[in-house]
Amino acid sequence: MKTPKEVRFDNFIRLFKKSGYSQQRLIDFLGVKKQYVSALLHRRGSLGDDVVLKLAEFFNVPWTEFYKTEEAEPYPAMPPDLEAIYPDIEYIYLEGNAGIKQALTFNISEFKASVLKDKKAADQDVRLSNLEREFENYRKTHSSGHDSGTSKKPARPTGSKRKAG
């Protein structure tokens, strides 16, 4: 299985060859030195998200094209309410400044943590409810018919006792 970095390089090289563009055109578009583009074409250097976004624009493809693998399963269908706002989120991420990206990433992380916390709390509520139900059943089955909730001391056994003497 290929690493994410290898997948990005494979897709970059595939798109570059398919485009028919010259290295110089890519150099001019990215505003980088010739050595940088040469390194990318030889699977060296950095091909981070910021570069991927610029390359997606250059090749006129979605940025996700750089992360596709042959083995990759398609993403599951998005719920309609999320599908409706996804283009806005993508636009904010792609066009926003670093502060907006950081805030969006932070909010998503906070949301995930909140969901996990809510799930843990719900699990605890279920466990508590189960314990309360078990206690109530135990109390009903072991009740001696007294409603006071206090238990009496058991009676002393009766029998003949010998007196010393």
pTM higher than 0.75 for the full model?
A: no
pLDDT tier at 33, thresholds 50, 70, 90: very high
Task: Say if residues 152 and 146 touch (Cβ distance below 8 Å).
Answer: yes
CA atoms in the 13 A half-sphere facing the CB of 27: 11
Q: What is the distance between the alpha carbons of residues 6 and 53, in angstroms, rounded to a whole number?
A: 17
Average pLDDT, the chain: 77
Give the contacts of 55 (CB within 8 A, at least 6 positions apart).
12, 15, 30, 66
- pLDDT value of position 6: 87
State residue 123's pLDDT score. 76
C-alpha span between 47 and 25 (Å, rounded): 18
Per-residue pLDDT averaged across 30-36, rounded? 93
